[in-house]
């Protein structure tokens, strides 16, 4: 009876202050919408893999949502291939858990394989078959119903741009078209998840652009893990990045989040011309009036009175702010210097990769968006 009175009092409060009730409904609706939008398709929790006394994977945890392309990076021997083999059901972990679309890799490996399209680094193609014959073979191996086989082959071939070579023998195809055939077999059963291992290896620049465009297009509706050594590829294609080193996660998040977490300051490079400016020490003296916190100063004479000036303004410096460029421009004018060139350098994925893999591996906290629970 007491509980009923408490409930009535609570309902009374809502009726007296309807804005509280409205706010609660709005919060619930927003939370439900947020969970649905970032439905988690791949979840890995405290994954470990031992080969005898050797630990190939150590306490790895991450998640990937629907419609995300995850760049999976690491030096040779870092544990990337082992993680991918666990996700695809070829190996079981020593401990930890891997879920594919909510299904346990350890408990239901066959169901997991139905939901994954896998493109290994060396695509297993049969050169004596034509493209349509090979895709028919894959469809049969995937146990697609006969009534759906023809439409599935047509759809996957069209998605990968294989119509011009559909009846050609695979051994006559260029490397780019062979990669397309490999991608086509990976998506023929329309899986929600794709795992691609070095999909652009050995391709020429034009073929690389084509395959990247295809992966980006597939990533709009599917979850994609892209393992690659080409760091520009990650910047061009991936919405999320995971860097693994010595079996442990070194960093994870969007490229921008990782760069920001590692950024110690803003690096600037200027080409300056000054009347009567003769020596580097003169320019260094002028730079001292720019403000506090300037470090890593480098000055190179390019021509008479023309110098290349480089420096870093640390994030923690009092003068560090989003309008640094304007402040630097005002400083140059006040010192009687002409700016011939001005560049604010961005921390590249290559810089990040080299720094992280040359240091002892350490875990970075995953972004909150990747920590959301999977769809209920």
Q: What is the pLDDT of residues 88-144, one digit of tens each?
A: 988 999 999 999 999 999 999 999 999 999 998 888 899 999 999 999 999 999 999
Burial code (b: 16+ CB inside 10 Å, e: under 16) for 88-101 equals bbebebeebebbbb
pTM value is 0.71
- We find that the CATH architecture of domain 42-261+353-371 is 3-Layer(aba) Sandwich (3.40)
Q: How confident is the model at residue 9 (pLDDT cuts 50, 70, 90)?
A: very low
**Residue 291 or residue 71, greater confidence:** 71
pLDDT surpassing 70 at residue 32: no
Q: How confident is the model at residue 27 (pLDDT cuts 50, 70, 90)?
A: very low
Cβ distance 120 to 64 under 8 Å? Answer: no
Query: What's 366's DSSP letter?
Result: P
For 183-240, the pLDDT digits (tens) are 899 999 999 999 998 888 777 888 788 888 888 888 888 999 999 888 888 888 999 9
Which of 74, 353, 113 has the alpha carbon at shortest distance from 198? Answer: 74
The continuous run of DSSP H or E covering 128 comes out as none
Q: Do 264-346 and 42-261+353-371 have the same topology in CATH?
A: no
Q: What pLDDT score was predicted for residue 232?
A: 83
**For residue 263, with 0-12 CB atoms within 10 Å meaning exposed, 13-18 middle and 19 or more buried, which class applies?**
middle
Fold classification of 264-346 (topology level): Alpha-Beta Plaits (3.30.70)
Q: Domain segments of the chain: what residues?
A: 2-37, 42-261+353-371, 264-346
CA geometry: angle 325, 306, 281, nearest 5 deg: 85
Highest mean pLDDT among 24-28, 72-76, 136-140: 136-140
Rounded-to-integer distance, Cα 37 and Cα 30, Å: 10
Average pLDDT over residues 345-372: 61
Averaged pLDDT score across all residues of the chain: 82
The continuous run of DSSP H or E covering 313 comes out as strand 306-314
**Residue 59 or residue 296, greater confidence:** 59
pLDDT surpassing 60 at residue 368: no
Bridge partners for 252 per DSSP: 242
Rounded-to-integer distance, Cα 308 and Cα 339, Å: 10
């Amino acid at each position: 009876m007491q509980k009923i009175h408490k409930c009535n009092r609570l309902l009374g409060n809502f009726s007296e202050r309807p804005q509280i009730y409205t706010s609660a409904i709005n919060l619930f609706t927003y939370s439900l919408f947020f969970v649905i939008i970032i439905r988690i398709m791949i979840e890995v929790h405290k994954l470990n893999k031992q080969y005898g006394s050797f630990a190939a994977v150590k306490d790895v945890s991450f998640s990937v949502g629907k419609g995300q392309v995850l760049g999976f990076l690491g030096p040779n021997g870092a544990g990337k291939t082992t993680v991918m083999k666990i996700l695809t059901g070829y190996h079981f972990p020593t401990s930890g858990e891997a879920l594919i679309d909510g299904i346990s890799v350890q408990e239901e490996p066959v169901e997991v394989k139905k939901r994954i399209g896998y493109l290994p680094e060396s695509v297993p193609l049969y050169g004596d078959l034509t493209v349509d014959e090979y895709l028919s073979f894959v469809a049969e191996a995937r146990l697609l119903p006969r009534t759906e086989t023809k439409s599935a082959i047509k759809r996957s071939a069209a998605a990968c741009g294989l119509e011009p070579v559909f009846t050609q023998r695979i051994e006559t195809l260029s490397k780019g078209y062979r990669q397309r055939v490999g991608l086509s077999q990976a998506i023929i059963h329309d899986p929600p998840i794709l795992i691609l291992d070095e999909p652009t290896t050995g391709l020429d620049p034009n073929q690389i652009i084509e395959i990247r465009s295809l992966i980006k297009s597939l990533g709009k509706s599917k979850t994609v893990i892209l393992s690659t050594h080409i760091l520009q590829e990650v910047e061009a294609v991936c919405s999320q990045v995971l860097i693994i080193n010595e079996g442990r996660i070194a960093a994870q998040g969007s490229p921008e989040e990782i760069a920001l977490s590692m950024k110690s300051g803003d690096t600037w490079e200027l080409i300056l011309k000054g009347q009567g400016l003769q020596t580097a020490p003169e320019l260094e003296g002028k730079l001292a009036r720019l403000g506090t916190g300037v470090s890593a100063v480098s000055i190179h004479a390019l021509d008479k009175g023309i110098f290349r000036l480089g420096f870093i303004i640390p994030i923690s410096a009092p003068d560090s702010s989003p309008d640094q460029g304007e402040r630097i421009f005002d400083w140059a004018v006040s010192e009687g210097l002409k700016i011939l060139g001005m560049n604010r350098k961005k921390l590249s994925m290559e810089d990040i990769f080299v720094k992280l893999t040359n240091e002892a591996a350490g875990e970075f906290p995953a972004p909150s968006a990747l920590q959301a629970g999977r769809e209920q």
